[in-house]
Amino acid sequence: MADIPALIYDALQGRFGLGPTIQLESNHATCIGYNQPCFANEWTHGLVFSELCHDELPFAHPAAAGPGFHEAFGDHPFLDLCRVWSVPPGDPPRVIRARVPTLVLVGQMDPDISQPVLEEAIAALDPGFLVTFDGLGSNVLRRECGREIQRAWTEDPLQPPDTSCRQSLSPPAFIAPIGHGGLGKIPPIPEGTYRVEITTADGLAAGLGESAAAFAEVLRLTLDQGRFRLHFRTDSPKQDQVGVYRGDGHEVTFVEDEPFVFGGLSWTLRWQASNRGLVLTGTEMTSREDALFFADPRYLAVIGMWMESHPWRLVDRSG
């Protein structure tokens, strides 16, 4: 959720690099479709379509969702799907009344939850407790506060749990465009286009596990007067990572163009040139003072694998 503003800015500029690709292909909510090539495609199409056409779309009323919603989303392709999918509509949803202790933890910004509907459902449970986390999305149990409330309620499910820890939760941080100021001068790296081939074995050695094969590809890195272009994955230039490189001596820092598509993505390493190309070592990822960095070691593993697995061979010398 934090990188949504940066993703929007990049889309407006026609840039669809590593960040949006992984973000969209790893998220079930955004990759759902007829035949999507998603990393997160771990569900059966027939099952999902049957549930959608049986339990959800027959009772959806886009026109009641608010101004502009029906115009933007009312003519959804799944409506056409359900017209030909051989599944009759199910029973209309209804509130279930039960004397079963129930605790529901929900994020205020969860896109799949209707707060009024949820409140109506909880009111029919005895006892039912609804705890809403301001500014959070769907996975509130990633925060220690959510787990603390869950543990307390488990000990005494007939009483409302202590939810005071919500007061100490920090508001959501969003990644916005930031500039390239203060990055230093252009290092004396020989300009041109370099090439390297990454294999599945390289991914396994980098600790990527089952994802190793997804990053097996030929990369091209072009350096030109302080600007870089890292080409990967497809033949479309819209997928490239572009930005500036600056440094001092044999240390160089690559920084994604603003707006950053992946949390202020930048990496620093050591370089050594030869007649045949570049040898890169010591890759580190850093966060800028005014940017949010996702502390996920997989990002560093991928960048480090790309940069250091093999020497970069010079295939086109500038000048």
Positive or negative: CA dihedral 9, 11, 16, 20: positive
Say if CB 95 and CB 121 are below 8 A apart: yes
Q: Give the residue with greater pLDDT, 108 vs 18.
A: 108
CA-angle at 246, arms to 240 and 248, nearest 5° = 145
pLDDT at 41 over 80: no
Taking only the tens place, the pLDDT of each residue in 238-294 is 567 888 898 888 999 888 775 544 445 678 899 999 878 999 999 887 654 333 444
User: What pLDDT does residue 43 have?
Assistant: 63
User: What pLDDT does residue 146 have?
Assistant: 94
Residue 173: pLDDT band (50, 70, 90) is: low
Question: Helix H segments across the chain?
Answer: 4-12, 18-25, 28-31, 45-51, 69-73, 77-84, 115-123, 144-155, 200-205, 297-308
Residue 161: pLDDT band (50, 70, 90) is: very high
Among 23-32, 61-70, 143-152, 266-275, the least confident range: 23-32
User: What does the alpha-carbon distance between residue 122 and residue 96 come to, in Å, rounded to a whole number?
Assistant: 9
* 3-state secondary structure (DSSP) of residue 51: helix
User: What pLDDT does residue 290 have?
Assistant: 35
Residue 45: pLDDT band (50, 70, 90) is: confident
User: What pLDDT does residue 267 have?
Assistant: 83
State phi, psi for 185 to the nearest 5 degrees.
Answer: -105, 170
Question: What predicted TM-score, i.e. pTM, was given to this entire model?
Answer: 0.52
Taking only the tens place, the pLDDT of each residue in 183-238 is 678 899 999 999 999 999 999 998 888 888 888 889 999 999 999 998 876 555 55
